[in-house]
């Protein structure tokens, strides 16, 4: 397992994780943060999404043990297109690191992405993005 960069480690450490949580990572790239979260939520589950097929393939390879154990799954989707599968339970927490539709680089996608994320979370679910020290919480449309 590759060690997390100091920046990613600080972000994962700052997430309010607890055992048994369902976590959604948006734009997870090769899956390093998702793997670290999977190791911290015990019997919980993390779903990592990314718009890039290349990133999803890398995450599947890098997280084969976590995926095989049922603690993690990956799915190709952009934040603004994401929806729960019909039988899928909502998530307790979502986070995104360097995701253009949430950090201001793609403002045209922001509103739709926030609505899609809010719909995938429990009523008390929270969304965190980078840009704070090290995270900031984004308000969700309810």
Both structure tokens of 9: 């480690």
Q: Which domain holds residue 110?
A: 6-137
Q: How far apart are CA 47 and CA 26, in angstroms?
A: 9
Mean pLDDT of 2-13: 90
How many domains does the chain fold into? 1
| β 135-138/121-130 pair status | antiparallel
- Cβ-contact 91, 64 below 8 angstroms: no
| pLDDT, tens digit, 9 for 90 and up, residues 20-61 | 999 999 999 999 999 999 999 999 999 999 999 999 999 999
Q: Which residues of 84-95 are buried (b: 16+ CB within 10 A; e: fewer)?
A: eeeeeeebbbbb
Mean pLDDT of the chain: 95
Proportion of the chain above pLDDT 90, given as a percent: 89
- Would you say residue 24 lies in a domain? yes
- Report pTM: 0.96
Higher-confidence residue of 117 and 4: namely 117
- 46: CATH: 3.40.50.150
Backbone dihedral angles phi then psi of residue 122, each to the nearest 5 degrees = -65, 165
């Amino acid at each position: 397992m590759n060690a997390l960069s100091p920046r990613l480690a600080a972000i994962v450490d700052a997430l309010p994780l607890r055992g048994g949580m369902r976590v959604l990572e948006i734009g997870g790239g090769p899956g390093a943060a998702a793997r670290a979260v999977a190791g911290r939520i015990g019997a919980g589950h993390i779903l990592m999404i990314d718009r890039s097929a290349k990133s999803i393939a890398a995450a599947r390879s890098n997280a084969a043990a976590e995926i095989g154990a049922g603690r993690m799954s990956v799915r190709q989707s952009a934040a603004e297109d994401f929806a729960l599968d019909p039988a899928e339970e909502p998530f307790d927490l979502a986070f995104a690191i360097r995701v253009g539709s949430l950090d201001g680089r793609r403002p045209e996608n922001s509103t739709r992405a926030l609505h899609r994320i809010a719909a995938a979370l429990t009523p008390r679910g929270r969304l965190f993005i980078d840009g704070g020290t090290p995270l900031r919480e984004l308000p969700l449309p309810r």
